[in-house]
Structure 1
Amino acid sequence: MSLCKDSRITMSDGHKIPIIALGTFSPEVTTKEVANEATKLALTVGYRHIDGAYLYGNEVNIGPAIQEKISDGTVKREDIFYTGKLWSTFHKPEFVQTALKRTLKALQLDYIDLYIIHLPVSLKFGDDVTPVNEAKRFIFEKADLCAVWEAMEACKDAGLVKSIGVSNFNRRQLEMILNKPRLKYKPVCNQVECHPYLNQKKLQEFCKMNDIVLVAYSVLGSIRVDTEWQNHNAPAVIEDPVITMIGQKYKKSPAQVSIRYMLQRGIVTIVKSFNPKHIQENFQVFDFELPEEDMKLIDGLNKNLRYWDFKQFKDHPEYPFLDEY
């Protein structure tokens, strides 16, 4: 696969998604304003895909950054691909469009490019605030994912979003949507955790067979993120000796090797960093290529290990990570 900084993958609905994105997740310890500076720098460097979510609590900071870069001529609106996410407390069909409009208002945009269901689990919350580190305050709720999907389809028909997809869905949950009676639009993507320790080969193959683009988050591991959503006992991908050795061979960082590995597999890759140096380095992955023998070496690192296990939701009937894939 020939790759460059402007490469995009055509999704099943005909829209094209840039292959590399800036991730904007920010835990409570992070000042939300840093997302503004990170977004402006990323757009200046050449990123054209910004991956956000209502849950992250910083879309109101990202919106002005996008507007500033449009105003100063760095980008046009049509150059930018923004991914937003429907949080689990808005799964009632009558809440879906309201949640999307809230994202549009925060971003100061008329539409977003991709809107995805953040998690298949449906939740209630004590109030309308969703602090990342207070998952214990969520209450399980049973919701019809097919009904949620129909509400997502209505958002696309209303012109509020160009493409719709899902995140953290397993094969069974994807099939539930794909086999839904009167399906109007199938999911264009499934955004999941994916890295050398969780290479998602089986899920990728299933998605490929159904013309669903796999989008990867946590491609560098997330061991330094302080949140209860996560498995803090997992070893770091970017400290793996094989990844390090391959990086030394090409004079690249372990992070750049992990990113390049994902891109060469045809996976849209989200790289999260608010560090200016890392934002730039993470985009410098188009001047080298991993040969087949190095790709196979990295394939061999798979441990089916998750950094993001969301174990506080494991008793929910739609908890996605009990299935093999």
Structure 2
Amino acid sequence: METQCQRVKLSDGHFIPILGFGTSAPEEVPKREDLEFTKFTLDVGFRHTDCTHAYKNEENVGQVIRSKIADGTVKREDIFYTSKVECHPYLNQSKLLEFCKSHDIVLVAYGTLGSQRLQWVNPNYPNLLEDPVLCAIAKKHKQTPALVALRYRVQRGVVVLAKSFNKKWIKENIQVMMMFDFELTPEDMEAIDGINRNMRYYEFLPVIDHPEYPYSEEY
């Protein structure tokens, strides 16, 4: 199934899909189930996959992509395989985004919907998708807070990654790649800008004493 999707031009002239699927999974999720969801995302139209060595699933994800190329679901030239930085309305990374744009770099963002409440996330942090500003804008546009958060990233020119183990939500997220049926107004964008807290869900505290720990620097 091919989709007509939003894309962003890279400095080499290629166009990357504005929405990608993150392949990280909690330890309690069986590898087979994780890979089945990766297959499903390709079937419903995702052409941008995120992975990293830390997930310990690169080989398996590669096998899934290879199988989908072999059965004709996708073409190799249509697939983008990337890594990423954290970016969401509570950490809007305005300074980093400005730097990237000035150097013709496309920012790929993870954690765009907040967090999945994994073990390394501070449980005292607020749930992004329950933020009253996002909820009010979502109600106005008859959308979900998740789609509003994704749309906010997209309108700022950020390539976003989404992650879910719910097929309904995966299909919902792919709507962001389709011909949009809603757009945030300048007032909406300004209101969401205003909820930035410079708050990082994924602090990776176990390595905070490492000499190359990156999050002590301003972004």
TM-score normalised to structure 2 length: 0.91
Matched, 1:308 2:199: no
Q: Which residue of 2 aligns with 1:281?
A: 172
Higher mean displacement: 23-32 or 195-204: 23-32
Aligned counterpart for 2:138 among listed residues 247, 258, 266: 247
Equivalent position SS for 2:33? helix
Structure 2 gaps, min length 5: none
- What are the Cα deviations for residues 244-280 of structure 1, in whole angstroms up to 9, with x where unaligned? 1111112211111101110110000000112111111
Tell me the equivalent position of 2:154: 263
Larger RCO (CA under 8 A, 6+ residues apart): 2
CA distance, structure 2, for counterparts of residue 231 and residue 80 of structure 1: 34
1:259 aligned counterpart, secondary structure: helix
Q: Give the whole-Å Cα distance in 2 for the aligned partners of 1:276 and 1:57.
A: 23
Q: Could you tell me which amino acid in structure 1 is paired with residue 216 of structure 2?
A: L
CA displacement, residues 118-139 of structure 1 (integer Å, 9 cap, x when unaligned)? xxxxxxxxxxxxxxxxxxxxxx
The AA in structure 2 aligned to 1:255 is A
What's the Cα RMSD here? 1.7
Deviation at 1:302, TM superposition (A): 0.2
Q: 1:198 maps to which residue?
A: 91
Q: Give the deviation of 1:5 after TM superposition.
A: 4.7
Residue in 2 that maps onto 1:23: 22
Question: Could you say what secondary structure the match of 2:174 adopts?
Answer: coil
Which amino acid counterpart does residue 253 of structure 1 have in structure 2?
A: T
Structure 2: distance between partners of 1:304 and 1:5? 34
The list of structure 1 runs, each at least 4 consecutive aligned residues, that deviate by more than 3 angstroms after superposition, is none
Instruction: Figure out how many residues of one structure are paired with residues of the other and give that number.
Output: 214
1:223–1:236 CA contact under 8 A, matched in 2 = no
Task: Indicate conservation of the 8 Å contact 1:199/1:299, yes or no.
Answer: yes
User: How far apart are the structure 1 equivalents of 2:41 and 2:116?
Assistant: 23
1:323 has 2:191 as partner: no
Task: Report which stretch shifted further, 266-275 or 69-78.
Answer: 69-78
Q: Cα offset for 1:219?
A: 0.5
What amino acid does structure 2 have at the position aligned with 1:322?
A: S
Moved more, 55-64 or 45-54: 55-64
How far apart are 1:37 and its partner, in Å?
1.4
In structure 2, what is the Cα distance between the partners aligned to 1:255 and 1:205?
24
What's the CA shift string for 1:85-124, capped at 9, x where partnerless?
A: xxxxxxxxxxxxxxxxxxxxxxxxxxxxxxx5xxxxxxxx
Q: Does the residue aligned with 2:134 lie in a helix, a strand or coil?
A: helix
Counterpart-to-counterpart distance in 1, 2:4 and 2:19: 8
The match for 1:215 is 108
- Superposed, which structure 2 residues align to 1:217-236 within 5 Å? 217-226=110-119, 228=120, 230-236=121-127
Structure 1 residue 74: Cα displacement: 1.9
| Distance apart, 1:291 and its partner CA | 0.9
Task: Choose 1 or 2 for highest CA Rg.
Answer: 1
Measured after TM superposition, the shift of residue 223 of structure 1 is: 4.1
Other-structure match for 1:156: none
Q: Per residue, is there more strand in 1 or in 2?
A: 1
How far off is 1:80 after superposition? 1.2
- AA aligned opposite 2:43: T
> Per-residue deviation at 1:20?
0.6
TM-score by length of 1: 0.62
Q: 1:82 aligned to 2:81?
A: yes
How many angstroms apart in 1 are the aligned matches of 2:216 and 2:198? 12
Instruction: State the one-letter code of the partner of 1:321.
Output: Y
Tell whether the 8 Å contact from 1:223 to 1:232 is kept in structure 2 after alignment.
no
